[in-house]
Amino acid sequence: MSFESLGLAPALLRALADQGYTQPTPIQAGAIPVVLEGHDLLAAAQTGTGKTAAFALPLLQHLSTAGQTMTRRPRALILTPTRELAAQIYDNLRDYGKHLRVSSATIFGGVSMGPQIQALRRGVDIVIATPGRLVDHMQQRTLDLSGVEVLVLDEADRMLDMGFLPSLKRIISALPKQRQTLLFSATFAPEIKSLAMQFMHAPREVSVAPANSVATTVTHEVHPVDASRKRDLLLHVLSKDSRRQTLVFSRTKHGADKLVSYLEHSGLRAAAIHGNKSQNARTRALSDFKSGRVTVLVATDIAARGIDIDQLPIVINYDLPMVAEDYVHRIGRTGRAGADGLALSLVSHDESGLLRDIRKLLAQDLAINEVPGFELSSPLRLDANAPRPKQGQRQARPPQRQGGQRQGGSHRPHAHAQNNGGGEHAMGNRKRRPRGSRPAAKA
């Protein structure tokens, strides 16, 4: 299977060759022809499967060939849960569209709206936005959505988890009825199906892996450990190869910060990425990690969602997620595109119920191996009454939303060329505080 055989234009094929991509991933092979034919698409694919190109390539092709208009209204709208993801999609569109004349801009909050308004006035073909800030623009009438031909809902499940449904409904109802809608989601949960029923027209379904499955190239391993010795065990594991880029998941922001201080004191180069960090700090942490200046990135679930880091050899769950599905999202960052990956979880007694949930969801036993020197005082319980962390243990205190998240003032450098990126984590606006107590949405 080649990109050429999918019907992509020469300008895109050249850009793909520049990227070094030789063949389409399964989601690309499944989705691209369907999208090029103009169908609505419901695609089940998690981050790491190449899903961004699966919608970006046919979208660019459509915009560069069909119905060239002189209007300055956006012709495509991509909605995505977080600013990081929006920035990544922007980067990908720029890479894939480098031989085409298609412009894009990111729209997300946390910074002044002025530059975004100017970009919209100048006119862009593609708007990549988080729902909250987009609604702000709609309210201020600084955005005309009447020319949108293609709507992409990226990580739709996550947008719903984050409480964006009312914003999504509002945005979609402002779009032309006659349009193509592409919905990407890690799973086809009932809420996703219902969204599709309401807003899509006879969607074709493409699914690259059964819901909640994980890449077969990932090895799962559990190191049981007493809670009091977890930090030491993490250090022990990390020290085995201190040059290896490692993504570590912490359940809480506070926990992530504490862990980073501890690792730094121990001589490792670590950084944290979570919702209380300013946009600048988050962008810096990510680029330091990508460039190798930092070898350990400690992240919370929401902050890490969709972060595009190539071929990470190992992901460590310092804490297990409270919601088993988040395990799947977390380890989506290793074992990508055929490379081998290791998902290592450090599990203390109080988390054994969570481990049980994960095993059930994945329908597989995860290898449990004690590390010499870190043996458990008593074995993990994996029966029906296995304990789970209590409410209070997963989030020391409510997220502070005023300060940190709102200072993310600067534009990311890549956004300058044709774009006025803002800097708000989608969670940073009090109007969009997620409902309920779903811990993943708090991180």
CB of 24 to ligand AMP, least distance (A): 5
Rounded to 5, what percent of the chain is helix, strand, coil?
A: 40, 15, 45
Residue 127 φ/ψ, nearest 5 degrees = -110, 130
Question: CA 254 to CA 238: how far, in whole Å?
Answer: 21
Nearer to ligand AMP (CB atom), residue 25 or residue 167: 25
Give, in order, the Cα–Cα distances in Å from 437 to each of 194, 433, 442. 22, 11, 8
CB of 417 to ligand AMP, least distance (A): 19
Angle at 152 between CA 59 and CA 99, to 5 degrees: 25
Q: Considering the rule CB under 6 A, would residue 300 count as an interface residue with ligand AMP?
A: no
Question: CA 80 to CA 436: how far, in whole Å?
Answer: 21
Q: Considering the rule CB under 6 A, would residue 49 count as an interface residue with ligand AMP?
A: yes
The sign of the CA dihedral 424, 426, 432, 437 is: negative
CB of 225 to ligand AMP, least distance (A): 32
Per-residue mark of binding to ligand AMP, 308-347 (x: CB under 6 A): x-x-------------------------xx----------
Among 11, 25, 111, 297, indicate the residue that binds ligand AMP (CB under 6 A): 25
Among 11, 35, 44, 51, indicate the residue that binds ligand AMP (CB under 6 A): 51
Q: Considering the rule CB under 6 A, would residue 181 count as an interface residue with ligand AMP?
A: no
Stretch binding ligand AMP (CB under 6 A), from 21-29, 229-237, 296-304, 416-424: 21-29
SS3 290: helix
Q: Considering the rule CB under 6 A, would residue 357 count as an interface residue with ligand AMP?
A: no
Burial of residue 436, with CB atoms counted within 10 A of its CB: 0-12 exposed, 13-18 middle, 19 or more buried: exposed
The owner of tokens 């920035």 is 87
Q: Considering the rule CB under 6 A, would residue 53 count as an interface residue with ligand AMP?
A: yes
Stretch binding ligand AMP (CB under 6 A), from 47-55, 68-76, 253-261, 312-320: 47-55
Question: CA 352 to CA 388: how far, in whole Å?
Answer: 6
Give, in order, the Cα–Cα distances in Å from 262 to each of 201, 272, 276, 349. 52, 12, 19, 22
Nearer to ligand AMP (CB atom), residue 11 or residue 268: 11
Among 30, 50, 255, 353, indicate the residue that binds ligand AMP (CB under 6 A): 50
Task: List contacts with ligand AMP (CB under 6 A).
Answer: 21, 24-25, 28, 47-53, 308, 310, 336-337
